[in-house]
Amino acid sequence: MNAELIAVGTELLLGQIINTNARYLSERLAELGINVYFHTVAGDNRVRLLNTLAVASDRVDLVITTGGLGPTGDDLTKETLAEYLNLPLEIVPAELERLKELFLRRRLPWVDNNAKQAAFLKGSFILKNDRGTAPGLAFKHQGKAYILLPGPPREMEHMFYTYAIPWLQENLLPPNTAGLHSKVLKFLGISESKLAESLEDILAAQQEVTIAPLAKTGGEIHLRLTTKAVSQQDFLAKIQPALAEIKKQVGKYLVAEDEESPSQALGELLKEKGLTVSTAESCTGGLLSASLTSVPGSSSYYLGSVIAYSNEMKNKMLAIPQALIEEKGAVSAEVASLLAGNIRTLTGSSIGLGITGVAGPDGGTPDKPVGLVYIALSSAEFTWCQGYNFLGDRHTIRLRSVNTALNLVRKFLHEEHEQ
């Protein structure tokens, strides 16, 4: 089965919003075994949308639209589809009552234009909107299928996953349809080129299972394993040989898998070992603490942070001697090491992390250029510090600093650290 996605909205054509719906739907449809052949964007114009629907209906089996289901005059997706199919829209009394009750419950004023959201093609399967007002619909006509979804991603994703997918499986897809499944491996501490070189034989031998590396901002490298399978169990069996070999070759750099973030994986490891961590940040300005605390339940292992951006705060808050700052500079191994050790002492954590550097774009010197960052880890046994020269803009340098610090803790917990 082949599909086309049509995003409706002039704001998309103007670049005022990004079409994230296309990405979400493409991923979900691939998992169902439905090929997405075209992405199209149409403005809020009846004639152009009419032409777009005609072209899509001619070349694919399934047409999915997002947007244009609201109550205003430029919400015309249902009306245009009805015109294209030469079928009338009819008010469904039960839906009209549901809408009126919803507006009353939310203390919103009711105007007659809202009634158009309760109009459907006769025989449509109504897709409930649990997170908004405008329902969607699924409809089959003369060998073609149409699914109309709302534009707001929060509404669209829930509606598609909860109601449209079951409709597709029941009405269009034969049993045991092979869908596209993927597994993502996430690495830190290794470059994309080095990863590809280490897996050269595996990448060259890939056939049924596709293996693709992808460099992410901040030094994180993803490896995506993809193949068609009739179930998750079938998928895991198919990728197992390649997965085992990848972990054998570069497993020491593997930090997380699939939806798990490096911070989540590190948090699980800290909880498992019963250890705590605290941070002292200069150039990252709280980005490291934000990463660690983005994980629910992180209070069980993360104790706190001091963001000591100025030299005065380094001295007052974390007792970094002014004389040391003047002698070695705020961006130095000595200052980073004291940041890590003093925050550990201050908070009573098992591990202290200290970061200081030149994130740019200004502030660099020949001796300490933009991108120079010192990251230190302090434990009860020792303090270890390393200087890095990161490339990229300010955001990239800060993000690489955070990921490197997370990976440093991971290596320490796995006893891979250097002393």
Concatenated DSSP letters for 89-127? Answer: EEE-HHHHHHHHHHHHHTTPPP-GGGGGGGEEETTPEEE
Place of tokens 């919803």: 102
Please check whether residues 359 and 288 belong to one and the same domain.
yes
pLDDT of 418 higher than 80: no
Please check whether residues 163 and 198 belong to one and the same domain.
no
> Structural domain tally of the chain?
3
Tell me whether residue 418 is in a domain: no
Q: Is 186 helix (H, G, I), strand (E, B) or coil?
A: strand
Do the Cβ atoms of 384 and 409 come closer than 8 Å? no
The pLDDT value given to residue 415: 84
Hey, what amino acid is at 367?
D
Mean pLDDT within 85-111: 93
The pLDDT value given to residue 28: 96
CATH code, domain carrying 191: 3.30.70.2860
pLDDT of 417 higher than 60: no
Nearest to 186 by CA among 410, 412, 31: 410
Would you report the helix, strand and coil content of the chain in percent, each value rounded to 5? 45, 25, 30
The pLDDT value given to residue 176: 86
Cis, bond preceding 71 (omega within 30 deg of 0):
no
Tell me whether residue 274 is in a domain: yes
CA distance 102 to 225: 44
The pLDDT value given to residue 268: 97
Tell me whether residue 47 is in a domain: yes
Question: 62-66 and 2-8 as β-strands: parallel, antiparallel, unpaired?
Answer: parallel
Tell me whether residue 265 is in a domain: no
Hey, what amino acid is at 91?
I
Instruction: Say which residues have a Cβ less than 8 Å from residue 369's Cβ, sequence separation at least 6.
Output: 358, 389
The pLDDT value given to residue 416: 67
CATH code, domain carrying 361: 3.90.950.20
Please check whether residues 373 and 322 belong to one and the same domain.
yes
Dihedral sign computed on CA atoms, order 329, 331, 336, 342: positive
Range of the domain at 135: 2-171
Q: Which helix (H) or strand (E) holds 181?
A: strand 179-187
Please check whether residues 167 and 184 belong to one and the same domain.
no
The pLDDT value given to residue 75: 93
Please check whether residues 372 and 292 belong to one and the same domain.
yes
Do the Cβ atoms of 349 and 289 come closer than 8 Å? no
Tell me whether residue 263 is in a domain: no
Please check whether residues 90 and 191 belong to one and the same domain.
no
Query: What confidence category does residue 106 fall into, taking pLDDT thresholds of 50, 70 and 90?
Result: confident
Tell me whether residue 88 is in a domain: yes
What backbone torsions phi and psi does residue 84 show, to the nearest 5 degrees?
A: -65, -40
Nearest to 287 by CA among 369, 405, 386: 405
Please check whether residues 232 and 347 belong to one and the same domain.
no
CA distance 43 to 12: 8
CA distance 67 to 8: 5
pLDDT of 197 higher than 60: yes
In the chain, the N- to C-terminal Cα span, in Å, equals 58
CA distance 28 to 44: 26
Tell me whether residue 262 is in a domain: no
Percent of the chain with pLDDT over 90: 95
Which one of 122, 147, 171 terminates a domain?
A: 171
CATH code, domain carrying 81: 3.40.980.10
Q: Packing angle between helix 77-85 and helix 46-59, nearest 10 degrees?
A: 60
Tell me whether residue 419 is in a domain: no
pTM for the model stands at 0.82
Please check whether residues 361 and 249 belong to one and the same domain.
no
The pLDDT value given to residue 221: 97
pLDDT digits (tens, 9 = 90+) for 123-170: 999 999 999 999 999 999 999 999 999 999 999 999 999 999 999 999
Q: Which helix (H) or strand (E) holds 57?
A: helix 46-59
Helix intervals (H) in 285-386: 287-293, 311-318, 322-328, 333-347
pLDDT digits (tens, 9 = 90+) for 270-291: 999 999 999 999 999 999 999 9
Nearest to 141 by CA among 63, 219, 253: 63
CA torsion, points 391, 360, 291, 217, in degrees to nearest 10?
Answer: -30
Please check whether residues 74 and 208 belong to one and the same domain.
no
Which one of 257, 285, 304 terminates a domain?
A: 257
pLDDT digits (tens, 9 = 90+) for 362-390: 999 999 999 999 999 999 999 999 999 99
Instruction: Say which residues have a Cβ less than 8 Å from residue 413's Cβ, sequence separation at least 6.
Output: 266, 269, 270, 273, 275
Please check whether residues 41 and 107 belong to one and the same domain.
yes
Please check whether residues 221 and 205 belong to one and the same domain.
yes
What tokens were used for 131?
């997170």
Please check whether residues 157 and 203 belong to one and the same domain.
no
CA distance 293 to 290: 5
Which one of 126, 154, 171 terminates a domain?
A: 171
Instruction: Say which residues have a Cβ less than 8 Å from residue 14's Cβ, sequence separation at least 6.
Output: none
Query: What confidence category does residue 214 fall into, taking pLDDT thresholds of 50, 70 and 90?
Result: very high
pLDDT of 402 higher than 60: yes
Concatenated DSSP letters for 239-290? Answer: HHHHHHHHHHHHGGGEEEETT--HHHHHHHHHHHHT--EEEEESTTTTHHHH
The pLDDT value given to residue 419: 45
